[in-house]
């Protein structure tokens, strides 16, 4: 059984007991979060698709930890114009473990 959820402006395919990196959530490690924006639930040959969301369906997850991704260099450069700007970016994320997929 798997589901497709939307969070942080992205869509993710999740399965029970799987881990997932999502955009930073405002939740403490060890707490439980609910994802109510469920787009699809598949259980073998039985597939339910929302239009756009499935009413009453939700996915429960436990927050494992918060962290930062790898450093990404950002370079803006114009040749022969003496223009060079260098920055770095590290995206923050929340690691969650899927505990339950509830069908509505």
Residue 17 phi, psi (nearest 5): 70, 10
Helix (H, G, I), strand (E, B) or coil at 49: strand
pTM for the model stands at 0.86
Residue 52 region, left (φ>0) first, then alpha (ψ -120 to 50), else beta? alpha
Q: CA-based angle 68:71:77, to the nearest 5?
A: 145
* Residue 104 pLDDT: 77
The pLDDT of 12-25, averaged and rounded, is 97
Half-sphere exposure of 75 (CA within 13 A, CB side): 4
39-82 confidence digits (pLDDT tens): 999 999 999 999 999 999 999 999 999 999 999 999 999 999 99
* Residue 40 pLDDT: 95
Q: CA-based angle 14:60:62, to the nearest 5?
A: 95
């Amino acid at each position: 059984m798997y589901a497709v959820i939307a969070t942080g402006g992205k869509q993710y395919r999740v399965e029970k007991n799987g881990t997932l990196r999502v955009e930073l959530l405002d939740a403490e490690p060890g707490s439980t979060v609910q994802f109510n924006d469920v787009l699809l639930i598949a259980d073998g040959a039985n597939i339910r698709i929302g239009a756009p969301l499935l009413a009453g369906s939700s996915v429960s997850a436990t927050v494992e930890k918060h962290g930062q991704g790898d450093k990404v260099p950002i370079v803006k450069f114009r040749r022969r114009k003496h223009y060079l700007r260098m920055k770095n970016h590290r995206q923050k994320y929340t690691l969650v473990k899927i505990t339950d997929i509830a069908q509505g």
